[in-house]
Amino acid sequence: MTNPNNNMGKKSISIFEFRSIGIMTTPFKQKFGIPRQSQSISTATGTIQFSPDINPTNACRGLEAFSHLWISFIFHENIQGGWKDTVRPPRLGGNEKVGVFATRSTFRPNPIGLSVVKNGGLNEHNKLVVEGVDLLDQTPIIDIKPYVHYADSVNDAISGFAEFAPKKKMPVEYSKLAYLKLQTLVNAYPQLEALLTNILEQDPRPAYKTATKDDKIYSILLHNFDIKWQVRHTINYVLDIEIQ
């Protein structure tokens, strides 16, 4: 880290500059459809390619003893978006405003995200595999720390409007066409069906859409597939899987 204000012995603590330590590759090619929190979809897997000056074997030595990790990252797609001091969290139906610091909003004074993920260890390409991610593909990672059970988990914590994980799951069905296409992809993408089902079960639509009749055809980009789906009655129905 460099502090550009630390000039001629004068110290400022207001502006800092961080470098990325690596880039995370995930199946999520657009923000729509990404889980709203880490750990909510275990089939959402990412890999971190470390920057060339970082030796993964050295920097991750001992990390294999920890089942979970904290990943700090940059909401790089939102950097131009600015921020407001109040936001409308989707969990409150998008109607109620709360302070930005009472939310996990991606529009923040500093666009830094923090996710707990499962540690899958370094793979044969010296990339760190992590499970349960909520990050866009190509997200810059700025730090990794082990999750420490005794210090990081608080048994009697109270979590305001986010006290409980959303329980309601939508049933998911596949058209014959989509199902047949999935079968041809099983060898190359063994997790694709489970991942897509998990995403659609959580209903990624904005809250206001879930309350009204909705016949829109939605698109989710996963890997290099454009997945078309629609709500039919109370079912999320996959129409087609197009290769991009």
What tokens appear for 134 in the block? 């909520």
User: At residue 45, what are phi and psi to the nearest 5 degrees?
Assistant: -110, 145
Question: Could you please report the per-residue DSSP string of 64-87?
Answer: GG-SEEEEEEE-GGGGGG---SEE
Stretch that binds ligand SAM, among 31-39, 120-128, 183-191, 213-221 (CB under 6 A): 31-39
Give the binding range for ligand SAM (CB under 6 A) out of 1-9, 75-83, 146-154, 234-242.
Answer: 75-83
Report if residue 38 touches ligand SAM, rule: CB under 6 A: yes
The residue range among 3-11, 130-138, 180-188, 208-216 that interacts with ligand SAM, by the rule CB under 6 A, is 130-138
Residue 37 binds ligand SAM (CB under 6 A): yes
* Count of residues that interact with ligand SAM, criterion CB under 6 A: 19
If binding is defined by CB under 6 A, does position 71 make contact with ligand SAM?
A: no
Element (H, E) at 173: strand 172-174
Residue tagged 């988990």 (tokens): 153
Query: Is there binding between residue 36 and ligand SAM (CB under 6 A)?
Result: yes
Distance CA 235, CA 201 (A): 9
The tally of CA atoms less than 13 A away on the side-chain side of residue 165 is 10
Residues near ligand SAM (CB under 6 A) are 31, 34-38, 75-78, 104, 106, 113-115, 134-136, 139
